[in-house]
Every structure is written in C-alpha cells, then in structure tokens.
Amino acid sequence: MANAAGHWPNGAPLVACEPGVGSPFNGMAQELITISRGGVEMGKFPEADLLGLVQQKKVLPTDHYWKAGMTEWKQVAELIPVLKAAQEQAAAEKARVQQEADAQQAEVAAWATAEAQRRAAKLTFRCHCCKVEFPKPFDPESEIGDGVVDVFIGSFLVLIPIIGWLFVPFFILRGFAKVVASRVKSPHCPNCRSTNISREEGSDKPLFQ
C-alpha cells in the first residue's frame, strides 16, 4: 500500500511522470494555452509541452499565447523563463525523491543484512569445550549408513579366500560398532566430539535443519 507521500514502502515513486502526461509542473500539463502568430491562432497545446515546441521551432518566442484567466495576449518569450524554472524545480524534486528512495533502500538492505546475521547467530551452536562455533552438530545417526556398508563389505569378503577372510572381522565389527554408536551417542561438536554444546535460548529450530 502506498504511503501518504505517494511512494511505495520500498521508496519507489508511485507514478512515473512523463512529459505531457503526469505533470512535472504541478498540474500545468492539462492546462491548454492558445498560440497565435501574426494575429492568426495556430492551435491549443498543453502548457507543459511548450518548451519542447519552442526547441523544435514549431512555436517561436515571438509568437503570442493566451490561456484562461489572462486579460490580454503575451509573447511566448515571457513564458519561457517561467516554464524553465518550473522544469528545474521539478527536476530537483525528482532528484530529491530519488535520493530519499535510494537512502531508504540502503537502510532496508542494511537492516536485512543485520537481521540475517542476528538470526544466524541465534541458530549457531557453540562448543564449550573447544570454543568452536558451527551451524549444526554432528548427527550420530548419519553413521548408520556407513556401518551398514562396512557390514556388507565384510560379508562380501567372506567369498574371497585367505586375504578376504583376514579383513572380514575388521569390517563387520567396525560396521556393527558404527550402527550401535549411532543409536547411543548424542549430537556432538564436529571438531572435538564433545556433547557440551549449546545455542541461544529461545531457538525452536530442530538441531539438524
């Protein structure tokens, strides 16, 4: 939802003005002026388009103009400085709005970065033994697969006479040891394997997500 200043919450302008459409002259774009040359009316044009018409030489500074509320015709040359001043003011206002929008976006980006760091710190584990910080502890249950693989290798080595038989007890015993350990060990520090670990209180995020 746009705020009272006419901008979205991220600071972007609500409407992008274009010459002759969204008035950079505070409402002058829809006001028509009549142009006359040598006493002959040339037509009516949006006042905000007059500078462009002068640059294109479709309207000359020596031409005359009239608009509602005027009591007499005046030379276009008298209106040109007024329109230029309004144009410069509109450009300055646009630059100010853009500067405020950029500053607001930078502030939002800085806040998002700080918030991400705060959340990361909240979910970071700390080992009270070796003082190392890590995103999640080692999960003993991850060794179940390794243990099953060792048992499978040991079973396969039974088929290889002599040399295979020498390694059968090693692989099978190591495999069973990993499976049993995965069921009885607690999550621990991946560096020193200590279970004396913690993270900021209040975090309800699961250990291994």
Say which residue the tokens 């060990």 belong to.
Answer: 185
- Name the residue among 109, 112, 133, 111 with its Cα closest to residue 122: 133
Hey, which bits of the chain come out as E strands?
A: 32-37, 40-46, 64-66, 74-75, 125-127, 133-134, 197-198
- Distance between CA atoms of 60 and 77, rounded to whole angstroms? 8
Amino acid at 114: A
- Distance between CA atoms of 118 and 110, rounded to whole angstroms? 12
Q: Taking residues 84-105, report their average pLDDT.
A: 89
Confidence of residue 14 (pLDDT cuts 50, 70, 90): very low
Q: Taking residues 88-107, report their average pLDDT.
A: 90
Check whether 207 has a pLDDT greater than 60: no
pTM as predicted: 0.39
DSSP 8-state secondary structure symbol assigned to residue 198: E
Q: How far is CA 52 from the centre of its chain?
A: 38
Say which residue the tokens 């409407």 belong to.
Answer: 15
Could you read off the pLDDT of 31-63 as tens digits, one per residue?
888 888 888 888 888 888 888 888 888 889 888
As a dihedral over the C-alpha atoms of residue 157, residue 161, residue 162, residue 165, rounded to 10 degrees, the angle is 30
- Distance between CA atoms of 182 and 140, rounded to whole angstroms? 5
Which pLDDT score, from 0 to 100, does residue 95 have?
92
* Torsion 68-69-73-76 (CA) sign: negative
Q: How far is CA 92 from CA 25, 99, 154, in A?
A: 12, 10, 80
Check whether 4 has a pLDDT greater than 50: no
Which pLDDT score, from 0 to 100, does residue 99 have?
92
Query: Structure tokens of 169?
Result: 């007890």
Could you read off the pLDDT of 103-144 as tens digits, one per residue?
889 888 888 888 777 776 666 788 888 888 777 787 777 777
- Distance between CA atoms of 124 and 147, rounded to whole angstroms? 29
Could you state, in order of their start, the residue ranges of all structural domains in the chain? Answer: 28-119, 130-198
Check whether 26 has a pLDDT greater than 80: no
Which pLDDT score, from 0 to 100, does residue 146 have?
79
